[in-house]
Structure 1
Amino acid sequence: MDGASLGYWLLVAISGGFVALAGGIWIYQVYKGLGIAGYLHPVFWGAYIVTFVFWVGIAHAGTLISAILYLFRAKWRNAINRSAEAMTVIAVLTAAQFLGIHVGRIWKSYFILPYPNQRGLWVNFKSPLLWDTFAITTYATTSILFLYIGMVPDLAIARDRSTGWRRVLYA
């Protein structure tokens, strides 16, 4: 296996710049409040929960593509299945980020977890946010497992063709 080219690292740097820009914008929103994202009266749910639903839909599309190809036992499905399952994992992890962004105060997310405390407060099991968290966690776990199981033969081939630390990584 060859090393990455200069063009690859240039694209990684540009992508990293966009990630840093998005992080800066989000920090600005945390500082100024959710009003800058359109969370004003009478619409309090705004664009973030719509974006969450969009990414969950994209994840379902990847699962559907993979399931249909597996159901019909298509001989040429392996590469498409891996791409669809990778798309599912990335979409689910992206959707999970929007749950935290939608709440607005991400540093208070520990209130979602049921833990004993001196105030006697427990989780509100009727909260849609809690059930979204359970669903995303379950969906992400199963999607990662399906992706990994489908990649085992490819990881073995990559292990056999590589040397050094990459061989240990793929083993």
Structure 2
Amino acid sequence: MSRVVGLAMPRWDLGTVGYVAGSPGEIDKAYSELFLRCYPTTVDMTREMDSKVSCIVNTVRRGLPIGSVVFLLDPYGIANDIGTKYGIRRELILNSVYSWFINYLRNNGLITDSDAVELDQELSMLIRSIKARVGGSASMVAGVMATIVMNRRVKVNELPIRIMDVRNDVINHVRGMISIH
């Protein structure tokens, strides 16, 4: 096990998925820096107290020993829009969205077969597609990353977090799947 990967989507209504990766020691250090230094009451930084958000932002700015990406995925928004428009069950569209996302992560080397993957509860359905477990430090850190970029008081461009908007790619994939059938 060379790397630990965390994936989290603490708020389905925001549609952001946090991704973090590092060695087990790096993930533990990032967790300690965020949770044992700042003591957040939740991983949802849009609902956290200002003082805790400020501590988290300063800690992230100083640098954590992990790679961080936030994906603008919006699976439920896509499922609702396309499902309503084409009369397709939301569950089928969600499966297609998550299938595309897992393939994207694999094809870009963000997840490999040797990684230990941790998911939050919202993404637990991915266990059908990848070897993973629910819970853990990496998924909690990923949850913080997924929501800190959505906090209106935070200047996202000052954080060392890459933001990837993949919504159009997902929509095109799902629409392509619909036109095939």
Same fold (TM over 0.5): no
Query: Bigger relative contact order, structure 1 or 2, given CA contacts below 8 A and separation 6+?
Result: 2
TM-score by length of 1: 0.29
Structure number having the greater helix percentage: 1
Higher Rg of the two aligned structures: 1
